[in-house]
Amino acid sequence: MSKEKINIVWFKRDLRLKDHQPLKRASESELPALLLYIFESSLVNDPHYDDRHWRFVWESLEKMQQQLADQNLNLLIVYEEAENIFREIRRHYDIEAVFSHEETGIDLTYQRDIRMSGLFKEWDVEWDESPTNAVHRGLMNRNGWRKTWNSIMNQPQQDPDLNQLKRFSADDHLLNQINEEIPNRFKVPNEQFQTGGESKAWEFLESFVHERCANYNASISAPGPARSGCSRLSPYITWGNLSIRQIIQYMDQHYDDAPSKRGLRSFRSRLGWHCHFVQKFESEPRIEFENMNRGYNDIRTEWDEEKFEAWRTGRTGFPMVDACMRSVIATGYLNFRMRAMLVSFLTHHLWLDWPKGSLHLAKQFLDFEPGIHYSQFQMQAGTMGVNTIRIYNPVKQGYDHDPEGTFIREWIDELKEVPSELIHEPWKMSEMEQEMYNCRIGDDYPNPIISDIKESYKHASSILWSKKGSKEVKEENKWILKKHVKKRR
């Protein structure tokens, strides 16, 4: 008996039903379409990821399921390796085409895509991949990239007509062979984190464009105010609850009535940076594993696990560093400036190499986007070679961006009773003050892990600046600046 012919829409980090070219293409076909999301165990267990990510994905999928059910459609959600599930589907059905978005991700997903591409070719299955947010695969150079990006952002959205999509429900023979059991821990809500799903994403977008953008520029650097003053769209973009084109077009439509046009303009340029970094990562995926500029390979050679542990757990004795770390562990969010400060503290003041730290923060950031994350991490660590070297003083950052210590007190219980004038340098408290404010330094709250922040600054800056002028760094920079672009697949 011949097998039923079907198409498959493979959802990855594009968890929405609007402006979705793969879904649109499937809806225009005569064949029924199996809508599929795969929780891949290798990815779930990868050190970049944490349950917080899969909970966000689960919430997004649940909302999609509800919308699809209204149209009498279904989304098949499985917990399997991609190769296994496609093999199993193929045993039962004749797959004509697989529609999906291109993914610019970590090496693990890239290698998986190479394997899947090989399998689809072998099986004579067409793999129709659509670009994600105007990022191009296999681009030979980035000349004119910005112009093309702008033009794609202005093009009509690719909304599928779900009424047109030919209904498909998998038969029991297939369902009996696959694992639909999704770990319960992904399904337990946690109010500390942003909730996934298209409708939530729209709530954030609308409130930002109509109200919150008024405070954008003023609050962007301070960790407390940034939580409401910034758009907070990053997890929705990373997991594809919204396309960047949807955001830009909505913003343009409402630009004239927005409470801060300047705020919206700054925000718009950051959406461009987002895609720019992902595009760069598309051609330089090696920065997941090595310094962008290899001239810096020999600078941070010693490792100190105790110092790393103190940084990782928010127990360095520097209140602003510890508050930021504890807050991102608890909520998955931190604003740009404070992310940069955490990296700066690790790589400059503690003088520890970046890879382990970058894995730790990837796990914490609900919006973990490999292209931005690795570029930013290396920029802050000073290993890109072509950027200005910035070394943040964590004490000054505290005085500047949390002058009253409100954010610090929110995240560091031990410092709750310490008054504003002492909270940024608690080690300066006298014995009596420590007694009075219920915080014994070295006991309740750690002694600072670095005895002299000015010395650690000097040490880092002298090495980084002398390296920057060195022959090997300059040679590498020439190559980097040539915008050499390696074709991926």
Interface residues with ligand FAD (CB under 6 A) are 230-234, 237-238, 267, 270-271, 273-274, 277, 335-336, 339-340, 343, 365, 367-369, 372-373, 376-377, 380
SS3 142: coil
Given the complex with ligand FAD, which of 6 and 278 has the nearer CB atom? Answer: 278
Given the complex with ligand FAD, which of 25 and 280 has the nearer CB atom? Answer: 280
CA distance 400 to 198: 36
SS3 57: helix
Given the complex with ligand FAD, which of 102 and 369 has the nearer CB atom? Answer: 369
How near is the Cβ of 192 to ligand FAD at its closest, in Å? 16
Tokens for 92, please give them: 């039962």
Given the complex with ligand FAD, which of 51 and 472 has the nearer CB atom? Answer: 51
How near is the Cβ of 432 to ligand FAD at its closest, in Å? 40
> What are the angstrom distances between the C-alpha of 31 and each of 27, 34, 104?
9, 10, 29
Question: C-alpha angle 214/233/108, rounded to 5°?
Answer: 155
CA distance 471 to 335: 36
> What are the angstrom distances between the C-alpha of 336 and each of 98, 372, 444?
37, 11, 29
Question: Contact 393/453 with Cβ under 8 angstroms?
Answer: yes
CA distance 208 to 214: 8
How near is the Cβ of 471 to ligand FAD at its closest, in Å? 29
Tokens for 232, please give them: 């907070």
DSSP state of 388: P
How near is the Cβ of 7 to ligand FAD at its closest, in Å? 31
CA distance 390 to 349: 12
How near is the Cβ of 378 to ligand FAD at its closest, in Å? 9
Given the complex with ligand FAD, which of 236 and 437 has the nearer CB atom? Answer: 236
SS3 366: coil
Question: Contact 359/48 with Cβ under 8 angstroms?
Answer: yes
Given the complex with ligand FAD, which of 92 and 270 has the nearer CB atom? Answer: 270
Given the complex with ligand FAD, which of 255 and 273 has the nearer CB atom? Answer: 273
Question: C-alpha angle 189/193/195, rounded to 5°?
Answer: 65
How near is the Cβ of 113 to ligand FAD at its closest, in Å? 20
How near is the Cβ of 429 to ligand FAD at its closest, in Å? 31
How near is the Cβ of 293 to ligand FAD at its closest, in Å? 17
Q: How many CB atoms lie within 10 A of CB 400?
A: 14
- The set of residues, in sequence order, having a beta carbon less than 8 Å from that of 85 and lying 6+ positions away, is 36, 38, 78, 178
Q: To which H or E segment does residue 385 belong?
A: none
Closest CA to 105 of 42, 157, 150, 179: 42
Given the complex with ligand FAD, which of 368 and 437 has the nearer CB atom? Answer: 368
How near is the Cβ of 361 to ligand FAD at its closest, in Å? 7
How near is the Cβ of 246 to ligand FAD at its closest, in Å? 13
Given the complex with ligand FAD, which of 296 and 445 has the nearer CB atom? Answer: 296
Radius of gyration for the chain, computed over Cα atoms and rounded to the nearest angstrom: 24
Given the complex with ligand FAD, which of 58 and 374 has the nearer CB atom? Answer: 374
| Helices 244-254 and 198-210, axial angle in degrees (round to 10) | 30
Give the end-to-end CA distance of the chain in Å, rounded to a whole number: 37
Q: What are phi and psi of 459, to 5 degrees?
A: -60, -50
Q: Is 395 exposed, middle or buried (0-12, 13-18, 19+ CB in 10 A)?
A: middle
Given the complex with ligand FAD, which of 15 and 233 has the nearer CB atom? Answer: 233
Q: What are phi and psi of 342, to 5 degrees?
A: -60, -40
Given the complex with ligand FAD, which of 232 and 245 has the nearer CB atom? Answer: 232
Strands (E) located in 102-214: 126-130
